[in-house]
A and B are shown apart, each in its own frame.
Chain A
Amino acid sequence: AQSVTQPDIHITVSEGASLELRCNYSYGATPYLFWYVQSPGQGLQLLLKYFSGDTLVQGIKGFEAEFKRSQSSFNLRKPSVHWSDAAEYFCAVGPARGSQGNLIFGKGTKLSVKP
């Protein structure tokens, strides 16, 4: 069965610093991979997704993620963090290709931004 691990529960970075949020998945084949963001009191918003092709994926709000099959990772990065990026970030994996499964989410990483 698929699983997603986000090793960091809480990360604090200074405004303007770079950011990398880690995501590891357990899956036998190339999965569909997603990063979502949740601001306090809000639902989740898609940042970016990887289905196939170029392993470096660009998303909204200046975020990018890199799929590394050899490491079973899909880490989220941003070169310069803004105070408005403070939120909770969720990595998710989709079902096997051709099947009708649901998204499985990691437990999330809460990002705090220091001024």
Chain B
Amino acid sequence: KAGVTQTPRYLIKTRGQQVTLSCSPISGHRSVSWYQQTPGQGLQFLFEYFSETQRNKGNFPGRFSGRQFSNSRSEMNVSTLELGDSALYLCASSHSRAAGTGELFFGEGSRLTVL
């Protein structure tokens, strides 16, 4: 069974640009969560989708958005990039109806550098 696939793995953007990151969950998993990982703040929850609906959202500005498609693939978008958005963005899928109660399977992440 293929794992969680995130694309692109690495990208460099400049301030003010926008970026879209993609995540393909494990087949059969309908829950997809996104986390931002930085050395200073650690892993911070961005949002979680289940069956195309956003169920939970973390404490991030509206520049951070996401969506989930009918095949459970998910994208997140960050608009008007700031230097502080440089981070590893991790996607995780789960077969549990409640993402926090079951095992999260993580992708390798998309490393975003904002110059």
Which residues of A are in contact with B by a Cβ distance under 8 Å?
A: 32, 34, 36, 41-46, 49, 51, 90, 94-95, 99-108
Interface residues on B, range: 20 to 34
Interface residue B15 (Cβ < 8 Å from any Cβ of A): no
**Pair B107/A43 contact, Cβ less than 8 Å:** yes
Task: Add 17 more A-B contacts to A44-B104, A99-B100, A102-B99 (CB < 8 A).
Answer: A32-B101, A43-B4, A43-B90, A43-B108, A44-B92, A46-B103, A49-B103, A94-B101, A95-B100, A102-B56, A102-B58, A103-B99, A103-B100, A104-B45, A105-B35, A107-B42, A108-B43
Task: Kindly state the separation between the CA atoms of A67 and B114 in the bound complex, as whole angstroms.
Answer: 41
Cβ–Cβ < 8 Å partners of A101 in chain B: 56, 98, 100
Task: Kindly state the separation between the CA atoms of A42 and B111 in the bound complex, as whole angstroms.
Answer: 11
> Nearest chain B CB to A17's CB is how many angstroms away?
26
> Nearest chain B CB to A67's CB is how many angstroms away?
16
Beta-carbon nearest neighbor of B104 in chain A: A103
Assuming the contacts A43-B90, A44-B90, A46-B103, asked whether A95 and B109 have C-beta atoms less than 8 A apart, the reply is no
- Contact count A vs B, C-beta below 8 Å: 61
Cβ–Cβ < 8 Å partners of A42 in chain B: 108
Which residues of B are in contact with A by a Cβ distance under 8 Å?
A: 4, 33, 35, 42-43, 45, 48, 55-56, 58, 90, 92, 97-101, 103-109
Beta-carbon nearest neighbor of A90 in chain B: B43
Assuming the contacts A43-B107, A44-B90, A44-B106, asked whether A106 and B101 have C-beta atoms less than 8 A apart, the reply is no
Cβ–Cβ < 8 Å partners of A41 in chain B: 108
> Nearest chain B CB to A33's CB is how many angstroms away?
11
Beta-carbon nearest neighbor of A98 in chain B: B98
Task: Kindly state the separation between the CA atoms of A44 and B98 in the bound complex, as whole angstroms.
Answer: 19
> Nearest chain B CB to A13's CB is how many angstroms away?
22
Q: 9 shortest A-B CB distances, which residue pairs?
A: A43-B106, A94-B100, A105-B43, A107-B42, A95-B100, A44-B106, A102-B45, A43-B108, A101-B100
Task: Kindly state the separation between the CA atoms of A49 and B108 in the bound complex, as whole angstroms.
Answer: 21
> Nearest chain B CB to A35's CB is how many angstroms away?
11
